[in-house]
Amino acid sequence: MSRPIAGIIASIAILGVSLIFLFQSFQYPYRGSYGPGPGFFPTWMSGILLVLSLLCLIEALRGKNQSDEPWPVGQGLRSLLYVLGCLIAYVFLIRYLGYIVTGMIFLFLLLIRHYKWYIALIPAVVAPLALYYLFRNFLGILLPEFRF
Amino acid sequence: MDSFLSLLHGFETALSGWNLLYCLLGVTIGMLVGILPGLGPVAGTALLIPVTFGMDPVSAIIMLAGIYYGSMYGGTITSVLINVPGETASVITCIDGHQMAKQGRAGAALGIAAIGSFIGGVTAIVCLALIGPVLANLALKFGPPEFFAIMMFGLVMLIALVGKSVIRGLVAAAIGLLLSLVGMDPITGLVRFNFGQTALLDGFDFTILAIGLFAFSEILISLEQSIESMKPAKIGGLMPRRDEWKPSFKAIGRGTGIGMMLGLIPGASAIIASLMSYTTEKRLAKDPSRFGKGAIEGVAGPETANNAHSGASLIPLFTLGLPTSPTVAVILSAFILHGLTPGPTLFTKNPDFTWGVIASMFIGNVILLIMNLPMIRLWAKIAAIPYKLLYPLILIVTLTGTYAVNRSLWDVAMTVFFGIVGYFFRKLDIPIAAIIFTFVLGSQIESSFLQSLATSQNGMLIFFTRPISSTILGIAILVLLLSIFSGIKNKRMKIASDVEM
C-alpha cells in the first residue's frame, strides 16, 4: 500500500483537534432547561470525531485504503510553496500597505514566473485598480487603505 | 380546467409590460447573485425588498421569485468554471462540473445544467399550478422530529461522496458538523468554540469555507504540475456528446422528481436535493467510477434537482404560508409587507396574484434559458484563458471578494488557511464536499434535534413514535444498510475476481 505516514500524521492531527474541541465542550452546559443544552451536541460530536480519528489512525497504521495521491516534489513543490508564500504575504501585508499596493505586488510576483516583467506589470497594475473601483462604486465596499 | 383558465389569465398578467420587465430584472439579478460567491439568494432577495415597496404586489413577488430561481442558474457558472459554489446548493455541481471544465467541456456542463434547470424549474411550476394545495397539506405535519429525520436522510446520502475510505468520509462529515458549531448557539445564544476571537462570534462563513476548501485547494493542487505545459483545454464543443444525451435526460428526469419531492418538505434545503440526486445517479450509473472525474449525469441531475426544488418549495409558501427555506422566508415577508396573506385562501381570494406569479415563473425560466445558452460560449472562453494568467486572477478576485463579504481581513486569512487545509484533505482523500455539506446543515441538525428532545415525552423515542419521522428514518436506515451491503458485495467480488486471476 502507499505510504501511510501522511495518513498517520493527519489522523493524529485530527485526533488532537477533536480533543481540543472535546475539552471545550465540557465548559458548556450539557443539560438545558428543557432537554439537552448547548454542550450536548458539541460533546457528542467531538467524541465521535475522536473515535473516528482513532479508527482512521488504525486504518493508516494497517496501510488499508490509503490515498493514492502523490505528494509534490521538486519543481511542483517549489511552485506550490512559492504561491503559498505569496498568499501568506498578501494576508500579512494588506493591513499595512492597503489593498491596491498589496494586490499589485501579489499579482506581479505570481505573474513574473511565467511572463516577462513588462507584460506581467499590465494585469498586475490593472486588476487591483479595476477591482477597487468596481467594489467601491458598484457595491459600496471600501477595500483596505494604505495605512502609514 | 378551472386552473387552466386561471393560468391563461395569469399569463395575461405576467406578460404585461412592467411585469415582464420586473421578471427580467429579477432573474438577471438572481443570476448575478448566484454567480457571485458571498452574495446568496437570501441576501439578494432581502436587499431588494425595499425596492419593491412602491410596486404592485404581483410585480414585487414576480421579481423576488425571479431572484430565487435565477440564483440556481447562476450558481452553476462559478461552480463549473472555478470550483467555487456560487450558492450552497451548487456545491455538488462543483464535483463533476469543474472536472468537465478542466477537460475542456465547460460548455457541455453549463449547457446541460441550463437545460436541466429549465426542465426542473418548469415541471415544478406546473405541479405548483395543478396540485399545489393538495401536496402542501402534507407539509403541515412536519415538525422538528421530521426535520431531523430529513437531515439524517441527507447524511446517509453522503455515501456517494465517500472515496476509498468510509472512515475518512465520516471524519469529513464530523469535521463539517463541528465547524458548524462554532459561533453563537441558535437556541441559547451561548458563544461556542470561538477561542476568544471576536471574529468567530458568528462562526465560519460558508463562502470562506467554500472558497478556501474548494477553489484555493484546487489551485494549490494544480500548481504541482508544470504550468507552462498546461495547455488550455480545447473547448470541446458546447453541447454534450451524442452518447451523453440519453443518460443526461434520465438524470434530469430523476432530478426533477427528487427536487420536487424535497422542495415540498420544509427543512429539506436545495443542497439535500442536489446531493440526493448525485447519490442516485452514482448508484444507478453503469460505471460509477466516472463520477468525480467529469460524469455529465453528476451535473445534469443535481442541477435539475435544485431548480425543481426551488420551484416546488414555493408551493408550501403559496398554499400554507409555510416557508421551507431561508430565501422563501424572505419572500414570505415580502408577501406580508404587500398585504397578502399566503395560505389556502390565496388562490381563491387573489387569483390574479397567484396565477400571475405562477405564469411569470414559466416566463422567468424561459428567459433564463435564453440568457444562459448563448452565454455559454462566453463562459467557455473564460475557462480557456491560459492557466498561468487565470489562476492569479482567480486568486485576486476571490481574495477581494472574501474581504468584501464581511469587510474582514480575518476572513481572508481564514480562506487561505482553509485552502491549505483543503489541499491536505484532498491529498489524504478526505472528501471536502462532505465537510461543506454537513457544515451547511449543521445548525439545522442541532436545532431540530434539540427542539425534538425538548418537546418529547419519551426522550429519543420521539423520532420513532411519530409516523412521518419514523418512515423517513426507516428509509434512511434501509438505504444505509443497502449501501453497506452492496459495498461488501463489491469488495467480495473484487477479491474473488482477483483470486481467479
- Using CA atoms, how far residue B161 sits from A67, A116, B166, B280, B434, in Å, is 15, 42, 10, 11, 7
Residues of A in contact with B388 (CB under 8 A): 111, 113-115
Residue B68 pLDDT exceeds 70 = yes
Please tell me the distance from the alpha carbon of residue B91 to that of residue B255, in angstroms, as a whole number.
16
A9 in the same domain as A53: yes
Do residue B228 and residue A114 have CB atoms under 8 angstroms apart? yes
- Using CA atoms, how far residue A79 sits from A75, B214, B219, in Å, is 6, 19, 11
A108 in the same domain as A53: no
Residue A148 pLDDT exceeds 60 = no
SS (H, E, C) B483-494: HHHHHHHHHHHH
pLDDT at position B498 is 54
Work out the burial of residue A21: count CB atoms within 10 Å of its CB; fewer than 13 is exposed, 13-18 middle, 19 or more buried.
Answer: buried
Long-range contact pairs involving B79-83 (C-beta distance under 8 Å, separation at least 24): B80/B106, B80/B109, B80/B110, B80/B113, B80/B299, B80/B379, B80/B383, B81/B106, B81/B379, B81/B382, B81/B383, B82/B215, B82/B218, B82/B394, B83/B214, B83/B215, B83/B218
Question: For B87-104, what is the mean pLDDT?
Answer: 85
Residue B302 pLDDT exceeds 90 = yes
Q: Which residue of A91, A100, A133 is the best one to mutate when testing the B interface, meaning the one whose CB has the most B CBs within 10 A? A: A91
Please tell me the distance from the alpha carbon of residue B83 to that of residue B91, in angstroms, as a whole number.
8
Query: Length of chain B in residues, anyone?
Result: 501
Flag whether A53 is in a domain: yes
Helices (H), B198-312: 206-210, 217-222, 242-264, 270-284, 297-312
DSSP state letters, B42-93: HHHHHHHTGGGTTS-HHHHHHHHHHHHHHHHHHHHHHHHHHS--SSGGGHHH
SS3 A36: strand
A52 in the same domain as A16: yes
Those residues with Cβ within 8 angstroms of residue B287's Cβ, 6 or more apart along the chain or in another chain: none
Residues of B in contact with A131 (CB under 8 A): 396-397, 400
A119 in the same domain as A83: yes
pLDDT at position B447 is 84
Residue A61 pLDDT exceeds 50 = yes
- pLDDT tens, residue by residue, B450-466: 888 888 777 778 888 88
pLDDT at position B414 is 92
Interior/surface letters B117-134, b for 16+ CB within 10 angstroms, e for the rest: bbbbbbbbbbbbbeebbe
Please tell me the distance from the alpha carbon of residue B239 to that of residue B302, in angstroms, as a whole number.
18
Cβ-based contacts under 8 A for chains A and B: 169
CA distance B490 to chain A (A): 15
pLDDT at position B231 is 60
pLDDT at position B47 is 77
Query: Length of chain A in residues, anyone?
Result: 148
A52 in the same domain as A88: no
Assess contact for B30 and B44: CB atoms under 8 A.
yes
Supply the mean pLDDT for chain B. Answer: 82
Residue B501 pLDDT exceeds 50 = no
Residue B392 pLDDT exceeds 80 = yes
A134 in the same domain as A78: yes
Strand partners, B242: none
A51 in the same domain as A91: no
CA distance A148 to chain B (A): 17
Please tell me the distance from the alpha carbon of residue B390 to that of residue B382, in angstroms, as a whole number.
9
Domain that holds residue A113: 74-138
A96 in the same domain as A53: no
Residue of B nearest to A96 (CA): B409
Question: For B459-478, what is the mean pLDDT?
Answer: 85
- The total number of structural domains that make up chain B: 1
Indicate the residue of B174, B388, B426 with minimum beta-carbon distance to A52.
Answer: B174
Q: Which residue of A41, A75, A79, A122 is the best one to mutate when testing the B interface, meaning the one whose CB has the most B CBs within 10 A? A: A41
CA distance A107 to chain B (A): 6
Assess contact for B408 and B151: CB atoms under 8 A.
no
**For chain A, how are helix, strand and coil distributed in percent, rounded to 5?**
70, 5, 25
Work out the burial of residue A121: count CB atoms within 10 Å of its CB; fewer than 13 is exposed, 13-18 middle, 19 or more buried.
Answer: middle
A126 in the same domain as A99: yes
Do residue B454 and residue A75 have CB atoms under 8 angstroms apart? no
Work out the burial of residue B378: count CB atoms within 10 Å of its CB; fewer than 13 is exposed, 13-18 middle, 19 or more buried.
Answer: exposed
Residue A25 pLDDT exceeds 50 = yes
Those residues with Cβ within 8 angstroms of residue A14's Cβ, 6 or more apart along the chain or in another chain: A49, A53, A56, B171, B175
Cell of B218: 484546487
Please tell me the distance from the alpha carbon of residue B93 to that of residue B88, in angstroms, as a whole number.
10
Question: For B433-461, what is the mean pLDDT?
Answer: 84
- pLDDT tens, residue by residue, A112-128: 888 888 888 888 889 88
Indicate the residue of B224, B428, B454 with minimum beta-carbon distance to A67.
Answer: B428
Residues of A in contact with B185 (CB under 8 A): 38
Residue B237 pLDDT exceeds 70 = no
Indicate the residue of B177, B225, B450 with minimum beta-carbon distance to A76.
Answer: B225
A47 in the same domain as A91: no
pLDDT at position B482 is 81
Do residue A99 and residue B403 have CB atoms under 8 angstroms apart? yes
Q: How confident is the model at residue A33 (pLDDT cuts 50, 70, 90)?
A: confident
DSSP strand pairing (A31-32 vs B183-184): unpaired
Flag whether A146 is in a domain: no
Q: Which residue of A52, A92, A96, A135 is the best one to mutate when testing the B interface, meaning the one whose CB has the most B CBs within 10 A? A: A52
Indicate the residue of A6, A76, A90 with minimum beta-carbon distance to B223.
Answer: A76
Flag whether A58 is in a domain: yes
Question: For B380-390, what is the mean pLDDT?
Answer: 77
- The total number of structural domains that make up chain A: 2
From its phi and psi, is residue A115 left (phi > 0), alpha (psi between -120 and 50) or beta? beta
Q: What's the complex ipTM?
A: 0.91
pLDDT at position B1 is 55
Indicate the residue of A49, A76, A128 with minimum beta-carbon distance to B171.
Answer: A49
Question: For B253-269, what is the mean pLDDT?
Answer: 86
- pLDDT tens, residue by residue, B28-57: 888 887 877 667 777 778 878 887 877 888
Q: How confident is the model at residue B232 (pLDDT cuts 50, 70, 90)?
A: low
Please tell me the distance from the alpha carbon of residue B65 to that of residue B181, in angstroms, as a whole number.
31
Tell which of A62, A90, A105 closes a domain: A62
Between A143 and B257, name the one with better pLDDT: B257
pLDDT at position A1 is 43
Between B299 and B497, name the one with better pLDDT: B299
Within 10 Å of residue B470's Cβ, how many Cβ atoms?
17
- Using CA atoms, how far residue B50 sits from A96, B2, B45, B55, B103, in Å, is 38, 35, 10, 10, 44
- pLDDT tens, residue by residue, B184-222: 887 788 888 888 788 888 888 888 888 889 888 888 888
SS (H, E, C) B284-306: HCCCHHHCCCCCCHHHHHHHHHH
Domain that holds residue B229: 2-234+241-500
Q: How confident is the model at residue A91 (pLDDT cuts 50, 70, 90)?
A: very high
A53 in the same domain as A17: yes
A50 in the same domain as A10: yes
